Amino acid sequence: MSKLYILTESFPYGNGESFLQSELEIIAPFFDHIILLPKKKYTISREIPVNCQIDDRLTSINLRSLIKEMVINFFFVKYFKDFFLQYKSTRVRLIRSLRYFFKICSEGKSIYKKIRIIDSTDSIFYSYWLKSTAFAVSLLDKKIRKVSRAHGSDIYTLKYIHPLHHFIGKKLMIFSVSNVGKKYLEETYQIPQQSVKLSRLGTTRLYQPISNDVSGNLKRLVSCSNCIPLKQLDKILMAVTELAMKNPKLNFEYIHFGSGPLLEDLIEKTYQLQLSNLNVHYRGFQANDLIQKFYSENYVNAFINFSTSEGVPVSIMEAISYGIPIVASDVGGNTEIVNEVTGHFLSHSASIYELADILDKVVVANSHIYQRALIIDYWSENYNALVNYTDFANRLIHLND
């Protein structure tokens, strides 16, 4: 038994990183003490296990200290040289990349100065994201056990340059949530295979799945995500509208769980729709247990994910735990959770009409093509939180064995 320090964006504050809640509940018994180190602090704070506590030292990092570190790092030769070597070999925007690259370096240095004074005896430092907190952890003494998870947005560098080269060779073990991410890290950054391991996320099903479709001619579609551009929720809305127009004798209901900067725009676009056989509901942010309760009480014909970038969405894991078929874009870790058993893929460049056609096949024409019991079995074998997080906790404890 030992002490585990977990560096997060804001958890347990606010509503973000909700998927860390179930992980924490399962791994907590494996450690004497767990200390959460969030970067941001909000008024809302979620319940945590009794052997966990919050250390707010990272929330005191201010803009002034970040700017100071950014200036120092910008003129630090090895960072500057590394950035431009990568910039020459990629097609990304210079200013955006500079800002992201040196933000991670400067924020990481500021975080490092806060955590290096922590007593690290019999301790493990665990960064939940492969960003500035992971950079900070990588700077700690090589004798200290250091790990970071890698999801999706923190590793796929399509729009910026990542200072990941500076994480390598510092005994930072990276646990990728997907095989796709693992392979990407190995091939893009030449990280040795022994330094990148697969460790899937998982969900805990709270209720019994609904077994029979008693909704008659009503077809219910669901999506769940933040309302941000890369989720392409406006295109989902247009595709669902097209689907309803193609099937005037059926009734459709589209529900979205999640909030964000584009929610008001989506609501405005929905008001402009004038289809008598389509009802659209935006539920905003909902606690995990409420979403699962909805799945257990309402027969959902398909779950839609039309993102342009993904890790392995926890929202899809929750949906398949209730036997709901998935229609998802062929990006990131989606390729590992969506298959011939669980649902149907779309090209990452698919149009709204292609999405509507696939929804028509899955929801209308071949509504019984996916066997819900088999979908649930797939979840149980691959994304069961108890199994996956128990394994992860054991791997943390025996990290240097």
Long-range contacts, stretch 118-126, CB < 8 angstroms, 24+ apart: 118/5, 120/144, 121/3, 122/2, 122/3, 123/2, 123/3, 123/4, 123/5, 124/2, 124/3, 124/4, 124/5, 124/396, 124/399, 125/5, 125/7, 126/4, 126/5, 126/6, 126/7, 126/396
Residue 373: how many CB atoms within 10 A of its CB? 10
How does residue 189 score in pLDDT terms, banded at 50, 70 and 90? confident
- Give the residue-averaged pLDDT of 56-63: 88
Bridge pairing between strands 196-198 and 172-176: parallel
Residue 53: how many CB atoms within 10 A of its CB? 11
- Residue 310 contacts by C-beta under 8 Å, 6 or more apart in sequence? 152, 329, 331, 332, 333, 334
Q: Is the pLDDT of residue 213 over 80?
A: no
In 3D space, the residue among 97, 78, 79 whose CA is nearest the CA of residue 87 turns out to be 97
pLDDT score for 316: 97
CA distances, 253 to each of 250, 260, 303, 374, 379 (Å): 10, 21, 12, 25, 25
- Give the residue-averaged pLDDT of 354-358: 96
Same fold, 3-202+384-397 and 218-382: yes
Q: What is the pLDDT of residues 68-88, one digit of tens each?
A: 666 665 555 566 666 666 655
How is 190-202 classified by DSSP, letter by letter?
---GGGEEE----
Alpha-carbon torsion angle 172, 155, 346, 340, nearest 10: 0
Identity of the amino acid at 241: T
DSSP secondary structure letter of residue 229: G
Q: Is the pLDDT of residue 169 over 80?
A: no
Q: Residues, the chain, total?
A: 401
Q: Is the pLDDT of residue 27 over 60?
A: yes
Of residues 188 and 177, the one with the higher pLDDT is 177
Q: What is the pLDDT of residues 103-117, one digit of tens each?
A: 788 888 899 999 999
* Burial annotation 271-282 (CB, 10 A radius, 16+ → b, else e): eeeeeebbbbeb
How is 278-320 classified by DSSP, letter by letter?
EEEEEEES--HHHHHHHHHHS--SEEEE--SS-S--HHHHHHH
Q: What is the pLDDT of residues 124-144, one digit of tens each?
A: 999 999 999 999 999 999 889
How does residue 173 score in pLDDT terms, banded at 50, 70 and 90? very high
Contact status, residue 253 vs residue 219, Cβ threshold 8 Å: yes
Q: Is the pLDDT of residue 158 over 60?
A: no
Which CATH code of 3.40.718.10, 2.70.70.10, 3.40.50.2000, 1.10.10.10 fits the domain covering 3-202+384-397? 3.40.50.2000
Contact status, residue 146 vs residue 167, Cβ threshold 8 Å: no
The mean pLDDT value of the chain amounts to 89
232: left (phi over 0), alpha (psi -120 to 50) or beta: left
Q: What percent of the chain has pLDDT over 90?
A: 67
How does residue 188 score in pLDDT terms, banded at 50, 70 and 90? confident
- Give the residue-averaged pLDDT of 230-254: 96
pLDDT score for 152: 84
Q: What percent of the chain has pLDDT over 70?
A: 88
Assigned CATH class of 218-382? alpha beta
Delimit the domains of the chain by residue range: 3-202+384-397, 218-382
